[in-house]
Structure 1
Amino acid sequence: MTNSYPLPDGAPVRWAELRWEDIAALPPAGIDMAILPVGATEQHGPHLPVGVDTLSAVAVAEGASTLTGIPVLPALSYGCSLGHSTQWAGTLSLRPETLSRMVLEIAEWVHAAGFRRLLLLNGHVTNWAPLRCALENIRHDIPTMRISLRSLWDISTEVRRQYHQDAENFHANCAETSLMLALHPELVRMDKAVDEPDRSAGCFFSYRVDQECLHGVVGQPSRASATEGRELLERCVRSLAAQLEKALHETTPLEMWHDALI
């Protein structure tokens, strides 16, 4: 089973498949960035596998790597999934402080290998806060590393629209199910797909998933299709790759301001 997005332009650069000499040669060649996919292992309703968030993040990361040559680090498949509770079997969660610390320590080693730019590519909604804390710590502890955090659904306005089309607080919804139909149809049980509304809309407080839905689903997975999944994946990959091409050469805001004055 492969997690890569099959673009015709080449193959993704997977950190784990490179020799140390290959890795050391990348920064001098102008590739001083790495991508860290951060997913989760958690229930995704009765129709999807628990690895949805990791599989999605890796697919987009590897698609962008195929187009840019930027290496993809081994994915973190454990995320902050405390909000899913123990209502449904399969969820494996880290505490937010654990996830944040893990990312900081990985960044230290990536930096030591000569890389000065790191993208945290997030595939799970409630990873965002721990990853933002990791970003703050990395900026402080490793001042020569440029660090960015992107979630799949925020790669572009069009991608965000597609992710949220059936639920603001989406989970195992049309978009995620469509992605899995495009990537791993053998893991999807559409005969078990159950639609549930976004019952948290308008709530003041934040609730666990087991307090919001009956089946671990928020949205309309019954509307999913492999065609929509391929379109969403293409948008994610192409948009992210274009952003990364620019990011490889980005300077600080003050440097850009100074250059504009010259």
Structure 2
Amino acid sequence: MPKWCDLNRDEVAAAARSGAVAVLPLGAIEQHGAHLPTGTDTLLAAAATTAAVARTGDIMLPALAYGCSLGHTAHWPGTLSLSVATLTAIVTDTGRWVATSGFRKLVVINAHATNGPAAQSALLTLRHEHPSLRTCFASLYDINAEAHKGYFSDADDPHANVAETSMVLHLDPDLVSLDRAVDEEDRTFSRVLTYPMPDVTHSGVVGRPTSATAAGGAALFTVIVDGITRLLEQVRAETEPIPDRAAELPSGDLHSPTKGPS
């Protein structure tokens, strides 16, 4: 199935009528040490989503390149961060127009941890405003147990680490300057407070990127694409918890909460 921006209006409408899921890749532009491109998160989110929707026939929205990267501060050049409020507004507005085009299921595929609060706040607003639009938020690093193990193999709070470096080596090796990679330990282990990146790393790296390989990146990328594919299959197949509930309840009571207390 083509990308949203490659379709004409009638093709978008036909995709919505067919039950296709709208999928929004969510990345970031931020420093990734001296060896990786600033667009690493956006590259990974877009590439993994592209591969997954090619299998499922769903529709990929244009990747949102900018994310919430306030933790990187101005200490290193290269970061272009949205505020929490701005990212929330962009995801909310995007979802509104997805619903306007007739789609009833929206999945956000995220590649950057601190996008989570803003994006999930947007999905809460969409649930309230558009009770017929069902939404889901998932991150590459938590899409399944194998992806989690691969992402966090060298740090509990990784950044520009072996996982990300290996996957960029797999996807576009010309973007990686492995000779400039440095390893740096994770200093956040057992801590309960949060810290900006300059307070926990000298180099902007957390983990061991010097051990990265393209083969390892290919294996991890495949695991992630498998996980997204499985999620989209579940999303497409999922039906309403209470059949015909939409005809019985006012709109404000329709959308069941996501997993966990609401």
How does the TM-score come out when normalised to structure 1?
0.91
- Equivalent position amino acid for 1:14 in 2: K
What is the aligned counterpart of 2:2 among 3, 13, 18?
Answer: 13
Matches within 5 A, 1:34-73: 34-73=22-61
What is the aligned counterpart of 2:220 among 221, 224, 232?
Answer: 232
What is the aligned counterpart of 1:100 among 75, 84, 88?
Answer: 88
- Number of the residue aligned with 2:255: none
- Number of the residue aligned with 1:8: none
Structure 2 Cα separation of the partners of residues 119 and 180 of structure 1: 24
- Equivalent position amino acid for 1:51 in 2: G
- Number of the residue aligned with 2:193: 205
**Structure 2: 5+ residue runs without aligned partners?**
245-262
Matches within 5 A, 1:111-260: 111-255=99-243
CA-CA distance at 1:204 after TM superposition: 2.7
- Number of the residue aligned with 2:249: none
Structure 1 Cα separation of the partners of residues 162 and 239 of structure 2: 38
Give the fraction of aligned pairs with identical amino acids, expressed as a percent. 43
- Number of the residue aligned with 1:22: 11
- Equivalent position amino acid for 1:111 in 2: A
Instruction: Give yes or no for contact 1:13–1:62 (8 Å, CA) kept in 2.
Output: no
Displaced runs of 4 or more, over 4 A: none
Instruction: Give yes or no for contact 2:35–2:179 (8 Å, CA) kept in 1.
Output: yes
- Equivalent position amino acid for 1:27 in 2: A
- Equivalent position amino acid for 2:18 in 1: A
- Equivalent position amino acid for 2:198 in 1: D
Structure 2 Cα separation of the partners of residues 135 and 229 of structure 1: 31
Structure 1 Cα separation of the partners of residues 25 and 84 of structure 2: 16
- Equivalent position amino acid for 1:166 in 2: D
Q: CA deviation digits over 1:8-39, x for unaligned, max 9?
A: xxxx52111111111111122232x1100110
Secondary structure at 2:59 match in 1 = coil
- Number of the residue aligned with 1:7: none
CA-CA distance at 1:255 after TM superposition: 4.0
Structure 2 Cα separation of the partners of residues 199 and 181 of structure 1: 26
**Structure 1: 5+ residue runs without aligned partners?**
1-11, 257-262
Kindly report the root-mean-square deviation, in angstroms, between the aligned alpha carbons of the 2 structures.
1.2
- Equivalent position amino acid for 1:83 in 2: G
Instruction: Give yes or no for contact 2:52–2:226 (8 Å, CA) kept in 1.
Output: yes
- Equivalent position amino acid for 2:13 in 1: A
- Number of the residue aligned with 1:4: none
